[in-house]
Structure 1
Amino acid sequence: MARAYAELFSPRPFDLTTFPNDEDYDELVLARGIPLRSVCEHHLLPFVGTAHVGYLPGQRILGLSKLARVVEYFACRPQVQERLTKQVADWLETHLEPKGVGVVIEAEHTCMTLRGVQATGSRTLTSTLLGAPRTDARSRSEFLALTELRS
């Protein structure tokens, strides 16, 4: 059990790889369906799901695999889904300085499906929108449409 938790709580190290946005690309970059696993900090039971992470580039663009790495980095600790969603968005905003960030996470929490209410099949959805996706209705609609959610 100790080895299992050590593995769950150990993210792989990564270097932030960014590149100059030489072409002034100003459209949404979105990685959909990033698998994630974490552990509920209240019950120490797993939750699993997917993250959809997007950003509107500023002066730099990010190596695409790094979107999944950031999700993994914050998910590898006892966590609540709301905080995880915000941590990914805030990290991208701080390190990339984009024009906007959107993160949506959909997950099944075994602390809710296997115990307590036993709501088998229920999924929890959380979102954090920063910059243009938060303040501009068209950017928000585009992000949510591409994540297959509707505003």
Structure 2
Amino acid sequence: MSNYRRSYVNGGTWFFTVNLQNRQSDLLIRHIQTLRDAVRSVKRQKSFRINAWVILPEHMHCIWTLPENDSDYSGRWRDIKKTFTKGINASGIWQPRFWEHTIRNETDYRRHMDYVYINPVKHGWARLVKEWPYSTFHRDVRYGLYPEDWAGEVDSMDAGERK
């Protein structure tokens, strides 16, 4: 059994990858409103800032910043998973853990933001970042943080094809 340690920093910013157990499923986008409601509900109870988020059919990536006196992202993920699972009346849908990376500096932050937003293109779900509807990219375009045509058209062979 591995001795897995997570990095907890009050007020920290993290990049996360969360996967469904069935990597062929489309559950997350099929039940997108239930997922959004679960996140909204947990966010009301235990605040956090969503820096970026992209939801693909069977996994999602996001970047969060927690309040300065808080580092409990694990509890938030547990509650989001539980609320979503209950909302679709299912069980055993999530991989048991999630992957996290503590953001170290502005360069690391920018690199992970870009990774979140290019992910649907990388997996072949869209040819342009702006085509993928399940992403905070659209919010960040409205805020002027990214141009609408950011990354241009990417050939899925260059970005990593969906299998």
Same fold (TM over 0.5): no
Q: Which has the higher contact order (CA 8 A, sep 6+)?
A: 2
TM-score normalized with structure 2 length: 0.30
TM-score normalized with structure 1 length: 0.31
Higher helix share: 2
Higher strand share: 1
